[in-house]
Amino acid sequence: MAQQDDGQERTEEATPKRLEDARKKGQIARSRELNTMAMLLLGALGLMGMAPFMIGRMEALFRTGLSLSREAVFDPWAMIDIFSISIMQGIALVMPFMVLMLVTAILAPMALGGWSFSVEAMGPKLDKLNPLKGLKRIFALRGLVELLKALAKFLLIGGVGAMLLVHNMPRFNGLAYESVPQALAHAGSILGWSFLILSLSLMVIAAIDVPFQIWDHAKNLKMTRQEIKDEYKTTEGKPEVKAQIRRLQQELAQGRMMSEVPKADVVITNPTHFAVALKYDAKNMRAPLVVAKGADLIASQIRTVATANGVPLFEAPPLARAIYYSTDIDREVPAGLYLAVAQVLAYVYQLRSARRKGGFEPHRPVDLPVPDEFSQGPAGSEA
């Protein structure tokens, strides 16, 4: 237990990243017994299903090779033609079965672990040439299981084969009394069913091997606690690096925000603790938009940028606090603050028009209507 607490024992389940990395290296659960059983079983079914076709092709092949005229026997070119025809007939005979086996060989491994192609797994592994590691693999649990599987397959196949041989011996003896076509068909049927039964017997081995391969694969990929911590640091980043990244992101966001302040129509202040820059375009916006906001130092920077670019400042502490706490940047002000913001914008537009045309300045609005639900800070206390 002390070793586990120190993180030396592989007691933790593999993380998704560990599983993904193992898959890229070609380390996935595979069962050779499942592949062998699928190949033999589908091969037996294929032979039994294709038997009429294959027997017909074989009969045609025999006729071509054995039914020769006297002239063809003494004609060397005719023998070459007959040989070529026999080759083509032989290819046509085995081609459907070979295609079935090829497809099975590709699809059978996907039944456990899915499709995986890894260039890294194809590369040479020099550590496998180490005799000490080879002995370790031989006497490991996997080596013992492979030995037991080999013995089980030998006893199972041998026992089933012996029972089939004893059961079918009278049938084999009776083939001598049948005509050649009937004997061939009967022999093919006996061999096909025997092959199928032998293939089905391997399902017992596959049913044991598949769960073991899944368990063994998961066990080999288990991690120590220290490995999980190191992976987390690598994936998520070290705390100091993450803090620096957040600081840079904040600086970039602040820089973009400050570039929007000169485009604002008004900056509402607290006057020193908060500053909120608003922009409104009656043609393209449903409500005024918060383009920048900040507290303390950032608020001071917003006021400085606004003053340098001629954006008017409007001191309204309750409204500034309400917008600051209720609205994010690039969001519209809430409906409850429409009336108060509209009065501020109307004042700013009238003031801008009066200064441009030389008229009387409008009266500054006071006692702006800020609803009670917006007058408190985030914790329910006065901000």
pLDDT value of residue 382: 45
Work out the percent of the chain whose per-residue pLDDT is above 90.
3
Q: What is the CATH code for 258-374?
A: 3.40.1690.10
| Section 360-368 average pLDDT | 82
Are 330 and 291 spatial neighbours (Cβ–Cβ below 8 Å)?
A: yes
Q: Is 193 left (phi over 0), alpha (psi -120 to 50) or beta?
A: alpha
Sorted by where each begins, the domain ranges of the chain are 18-222, 258-374
pLDDT value of residue 19: 79
pLDDT band at 276 (very low <50, low <70, confident <90, very high): very high
Which pLDDT tens digit goes with each residue over 29-59?
A: 888 888 888 888 888 888 888 877 887 777 7
**Is the predicted pLDDT of residue 263 greater than 80, yes or no?**
yes
Phi, psi of 311 (to 5 degrees): -85, 125
Are 205 and 37 spatial neighbours (Cβ–Cβ below 8 Å)?
A: yes
**Within 13 Å of residue 377, how many CA atoms lie on the same side as its CB?**
6
Alpha carbon distances (Å) from 41 to 44, 106, 195, 317: 5, 15, 8, 83
- Which range in 75-84, 126-135, 226-235, 265-274 is most confidently predicted, on average pLDDT? 265-274
- Which range in 65-79, 173-187, 208-222, 325-339 is most confidently predicted, on average pLDDT? 325-339
pLDDT value of residue 241: 60
**Is the predicted pLDDT of residue 138 greater than 70, yes or no?**
no
**Is the predicted pLDDT of residue 375 greater than 70, yes or no?**
no
pLDDT value of residue 239: 65
* Token code pair at residue 68: 């020769």
Higher pLDDT, 74 or 28: 28
**Is the predicted pLDDT of residue 381 greater than 50, yes or no?**
no
pLDDT value of residue 163: 92
Q: How far apart are CA 280 and CA 332, in angstroms?
A: 10
pLDDT value of residue 137: 59
* Token code pair at residue 296: 């303390």
Which pLDDT tens digit goes with each residue over 342-352?
A: 999 888 888 88
| Section 106-130 average pLDDT | 67
Crossing angle for the helix pair 180-220 and 32-66, to the nearest 10 degrees:
160
